[in-house]
Amino acid sequence: MDYALIIDGKRHLTSDSSEVRNPSTGGVVGRMPNAQPQDLENAVAAAKRAFATWSQKSDEERRAACHAVADKIEAHAEELAQLLTAEQGKPLGGMGSRFELGGTVAWTRVTADLELKPEVLQDTPEGRVELHRKPVGVVGSITPWNWPLLIASWHIIPALRTGNTVVIKPSPYTPLSTLRMVELANEVLPPGVLNAISGPDSLGAAMSSHPDISKMVFTGSTATGRKVMASAAPTLKKLTLELGGNDAGIVLPDADPKAIAPGVFWGAFNNNGQTCAALKRLYVHDSIYDEMCKELVAFAKTVPMGDGMDEKNQLGPVQNKMQYDKVSALVDDAVKSGGRVLMGGNPSGGPGYFYPITLIADVKDGMRVVDEEQFGPVLPIIRYSDTSTIVEQANRNPNGLGGSVWSSDVAKAKKLAQGLECGSAWVNKHGAIQPNAPFGGVKQSGLGVEFGAEGLKEYTTIQTVFV
């Protein structure tokens, strides 16, 4: 099919387009329409017009509309999953594309049923004071290439639920599934409420500086998040930024390496490690370090990697060459610095951006593979001996998205986890998120939160009414 921009409820074909390639095979999946500056202006103008009526819809009408979007996505879930695997590379099964579509539907339904009721702050003979939450206006959304549809739903549905309208720009690496999902949503939404444009990164800069966009929500790298924040400053936009993470996992000496190996592995390698809140630094106590390494290697060898269209595979390729080259450089640097590759490394060189599952021992803080976010199928394993200082060591990284502690003593692990400087802390698991629990980063990992009632509030302004 021909992929198109979706502006004011209509498909809009462009004169210019770019190839979108399958990272498993290198084959062309489709062509991305390249929006021009005027297309962005048209999309924002459509969203601004639609806001006048959408913001006045009743709470129940907006709830029903969000459920209708969920119904539409669910009815086309397999179509979208196939397209998502083709352009992103993740497997159809396991925790791949079908899992992502299931999560997209679930998040949409849970968010649809959330409410932000007016609060009474005072009701006395002197007067009544109420707190009301109002939509901000047009929301600009920029989404990444790792979880294109799930993250799109995290941006779109809270905005619509609270009465805003949206212009979304997907990553140029994975635009097609988002354009198709927005096209489907427009079958049940009024024109202009949800618009989608695609094209080069320059469009994102134009969005974040646009005077008629009242809020930007961005998921991606910290470096790009800083640019979004800077270009939004002149118009004092509201911002939600979910940025890079370099999550630490701490394995205490009383943990059972064999028992926790599967959880540690999937905490690190879910979506091939291409997840912001994946476990990216594993600190293991000296007393069980060798055993933990052995058990991780044993489990990793059972996980098949390959073309996502093959149902047997559980991991796919790195999504693009830029990220593949970064992963390769980090592993090469670790080896030169004394790291010991337990398994992996030495990629075959194609076809496809397949980098083998790689576990690296005998690394330490200060090495690039530990200090930088790999965002790929690589896990550095760091030895430590002093439990009393390990949380402080883990906190030295400038990121603060997530972290975990692994132990047979849950109470002790919980206390240590609460000492981690991160937005989400887990005990004996890593990366588990859910639509009713706020999620966001601290330090260099972002601003604001998503999910639950706290996430809805990010799409509103407060009006205090004195009676």
Instruction: Judge whether 245 and 441 are in contact, CB under 8 Å.
Output: yes
Cis? peptide before 351, omega within 30° of 0: yes
Instruction: Compute CA 408 distance to the chain's CA centroid, rounded to the nearest angstrom.
Output: 30
C-alpha distances in angstroms, 373 versus 235, 281, 376, 380, 400? 31, 9, 9, 11, 12
**Sign of the alpha-carbon dihedral angle for 48, 52, 58, 61:** negative
Pairing of β 28-33 and β 17-21 = antiparallel
d(CA 113, CA 142): 24
Instruction: Judge whether 253 and 288 are in contact, CB under 8 Å.
Output: yes
Q: Phi and psi for 251 in degrees, rounded to 5?
A: -100, 115
d(CA 237, CA 214): 5
Element (H, E) at 406: strand 402-406
421 catalytically annotated: no
Q: Which two tokens stand for residue 43?
A: 């999309």
E strands within 234-330?
238-242, 247-251, 279-285
d(CA 232, CA 195): 20
d(CA 132, CA 116): 9
293 catalytically annotated: no
Which segments of 58-164 does DSSP mark as H helices, in order? 59-75, 77-88, 97-112, 148-161
Catalytic residue among 183, 242, 421, 450: 242
Catalytic residue among 276, 293, 295, 373: 276
d(CA 196, CA 173): 15
Rounded CA Rg of the chain: 23
Catalytic amino acids?
242, 276
